[in-house]
Amino acid sequence: MSASHYELACLECGRSYRDADSGFFLSCPEHHRPSLLRARYAERRLTIHGENPGMFRYSDWLPVRRILKEANGPICYESSGLGGYLKLDNLFIAFNGYWPEKGALLESGSFKELEANAVCARVPSGESRRMVVSSAGNTGMAFLHVCTQNDVPVVVVVPESALGSLWTTTERSPLTTVAVLAGNVDYLDVIEAGKKLSEMETFYPEGGALNVARRDGMGTVLLSAVEHIGELPSHYFQAIGSGTGGIAAWEMSLRLREDGRFGRHAKMKLHFVQNSPFTIMTDAWRLSLPELPAVDERVSREQISSLYAQVLSNRKPPYSIKGGVFDALTDTHGDMYSVSMKEAEEAGELFQKLEGIDLHPAAQVALGGLIQAVRAGRIRRRESVLLNVTGGGSERLSREEKKREVKPDVVIHPGDNIEEIVTRNLVRI
């Protein structure tokens, strides 16, 4: 597979590019303003390659240079238990996590594994530098899993508070390095530390929301749902922290509309859910603000320190950037929700009872948002609804004794020079 089946279009200036020969483009090479690129695929109609493993059945719509051999993918099924309870006749669940009876085999526990698969498959062969991935937890686990399977050298930077909840299910490759940021740090601190490290010559950044492979990898959730349903759902529910997965679902829905075979009528309405008290995007959207207002950093940090779903905690999400969360919501007349820890926990118990598996806290938050929307009469009974369960089955993995503890390779304390410490502790590639 070469990179010729896609090009990258800058949403700011409209120029298009072939992907970089070395590494990958994260932003428009022509100007310095941050901008999102979007992958444009030669195939405008989706062809499914069932012979490819997992999510690579959608390889025509992934910006990748190879197909990974062991990859798994998203699954979707129609709910009867929860659908009956909520009186929704067409409720579909995209389950991303570990639930073998349903064919869900993402052992790192979340849809971040889809992102990691696509990003690793976008890395050019012969890349001699190490990728740097900043994570609140799930992205890190996903990359440890996928980079181990595929021998991709990576440094994963995580906050100390996340360490206890990380696992792998296989022995980690020596090419993976876990760098822990000690102290009272949050996701944004980790992003900034990772950025510093990735500016060194021997490293390159994974790029977060700016990486088209991250977005389209997550977007396969919608492709698998549409393959199952036969058309685009009317409503899409997801918990967001950065909103990258939400933007990804929107971008895939645009491609599916252009394809023309999956319903051209109405746009898929996006419903994004945040976990109170940290709800900066919900607050801004409800005030129709195209930019996030400045918020007191100390207040945000305090809100995040008590947050139930820690993965939903990005203080600088891609909300106002062109093609970001605000544009996605505007285009689809979307909605945003704020769900408390109590509502989330109740939603999680309901799902366990009615569907039969444990949800990641963020997925509980998403279901809490769906429950609010149904109670407020925003969804009609016959409309099709897709609930993106972005993570689940962690308890199931524990019960099967599949989890191994992740031990840090490097601990970075406040004031330390991250470049120096990480470099000193690396195994040679």
Ligand X SMILES: *Cc1c(COP(=O)(O)O)cnc(C)c1O
Least Å from the CB of residue 186 to ligand X = 14
| Shorter beta-carbon distance to ligand X: residue 247 or 373 | 247
| Shorter beta-carbon distance to ligand X: residue 185 or 344 | 344
344 binds ligand X (CB under 6 A): no
Q: Measured between alpha carbons, how far is 353 from 172 in angstroms, rounded to an integer?
A: 34
Q: How many CA atoms lie within 13 A of 294 on its CB side?
A: 1
| Shorter beta-carbon distance to ligand X: residue 338 or 390 | 390
Within 351-380, the residues that bind ligand X by CB under 6 A are 360, 362-363
Give the per-residue contact string, 128-157, with ligand X (x = CB under 6 A; - = no): ----------x-------------------
240 binds ligand X (CB under 6 A): yes
246 binds ligand X (CB under 6 A): yes
Within 293-322, the residues that bind ligand X by CB under 6 A are 311
One of 75, 391, 406, 410 touching ligand X (CB under 6 A): 391
Q: Which residues have a Cβ under 8 Å from the Cβ of 186 and sit 6 or more positions away?
A: 159, 301, 304, 305, 313, 315
Which tokens is 56 given? 């690579």
Q: Which residues have a Cβ under 8 Å from the Cβ of 429 and sit 6 or more positions away?
A: 128, 130, 153, 175
| Shorter beta-carbon distance to ligand X: residue 66 or 322 | 322
Give the per-residue contact string, 157-196, with ligand X (x = CB under 6 A; - = no): ----------------------------------------
One of 59, 242, 276, 313 touching ligand X (CB under 6 A): 242
74 binds ligand X (CB under 6 A): no
Q: Measured between alpha carbons, how far is 88 from 138 in angstroms, rounded to an integer?
A: 30
Q: Measured between alpha carbons, how far is 139 from 344 in angstroms, rounded to an integer?
A: 22
338 binds ligand X (CB under 6 A): no
Q: Which helix (H) or strand (E) holds 352?
A: helix 341-354
Least Å from the CB of residue 1 to ligand X = 26
User: What is the size of the binding site for ligand X (CB under 6 A)?
Assistant: 17
Least Å from the CB of residue 221 to ligand X = 10
CA dihedral 355, 370, 111, 267 (to 10 degrees): 120
Chain-centroid distance of CA 404 in Å reads: 23
- Work out the burial of residue 17: count CB atoms within 10 Å of its CB; fewer than 13 is exposed, 13-18 middle, 19 or more buried: middle
220 binds ligand X (CB under 6 A): no
Which tokens is 102 given? 């349903």
| Shorter beta-carbon distance to ligand X: residue 159 or 391 | 391
Least Å from the CB of residue 81 to ligand X = 21
Give the phi and the psi of residue 186 in degrees, each rounded to 5.
-120, -170
211 binds ligand X (CB under 6 A): no
Least Å from the CB of residue 427 to ligand X = 28
Contact segment (CB under 6 A) with ligand X among 59-67, 120-128, 237-245, 261-269 equals 237-245
38 binds ligand X (CB under 6 A): no
Least Å from the CB of residue 420 to ligand X = 30
| Cβ atoms of residues 117 and 68 within 8 Å | yes
Within 95-124, the residues that bind ligand X by CB under 6 A are 110, 112
Q: Measured between alpha carbons, how far is 304 from 32 in angstroms, rounded to an integer?
A: 31
213 binds ligand X (CB under 6 A): no
Q: Measured between alpha carbons, how far is 151 from 429 in angstroms, rounded to an integer?
A: 10
In angstroms, the first-to-last Cα distance of the chain is: 24
Tell me 404's DSSP state: E
- Counts for the chain of helices (H) and strands (E), in that order: 13, 18
Which tokens is 287 given? 């005030």
One of 243, 324, 334, 368 touching ligand X (CB under 6 A): 243
Binding residues for ligand X, rule: CB under 6 A, are 110, 112, 138, 239-246, 311, 360, 362-363, 390-391
